[in-house]
């Protein structure tokens, strides 16, 4: 009887651990921005980004950065002027924050 109870308890504990979502290392939500390509504006987005992982945003080039970011994630976003989240020129965007068309960036890091 004790073996059955112990086995049940261990199996239940393992099931609980596996059932818990693993979102602690990610920012849930969408980070949106605008970029120019082929002479027109396009919308880009980063969905459920991993925390502490730099993302070079799609559409940004050496000549033109992305702009008008909107952070609709639950994590803080650092929008960097340079690719690779390099340099000291960045802007902090709290969850729910946005910045205007004047903020140009090429990469973003979430925490």
Level-2 CATH architecture, domain 29-110: Sandwich (2.60)
pTM, entire model: 0.76
CA distance 97 to 111: 14
Structural domain boundaries in the chain: 29-110
Burial 62-83 (b: 16+ CB within 10 A, else e): eeebbbbbbbbbebbbbbbbbb
Q: Indicate if the pLDDT at residue 9 is higher than 90.
A: no
Report the range of poorest mean pLDDT among 11-15, 38-42, 46-50, 104-108: 11-15
């Amino acid at each position: 009887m004790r073996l059955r109870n112990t086995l049940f308890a261990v199996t239940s504990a393992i099931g609980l651990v596996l059932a818990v979502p693993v979102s602690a290392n990610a920012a849930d939500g969408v980070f949106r921005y605008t970029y120019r390509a082929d002479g027109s504006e396009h919308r880009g987005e980063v969905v459920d980004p991993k925390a502490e992982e730099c993302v070079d945003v799609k559409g940004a080039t050496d000549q033109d950065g992305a702009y008008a970011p909107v952070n609709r994630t639950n994590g803080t976003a650092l929008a960097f002027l340079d690719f690779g989240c390099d340099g000291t020129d960045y802007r902090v965007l709290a969850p729910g924050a946005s910045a205007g068309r004047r903020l140009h960036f090429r990469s973003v890091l979430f925490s």
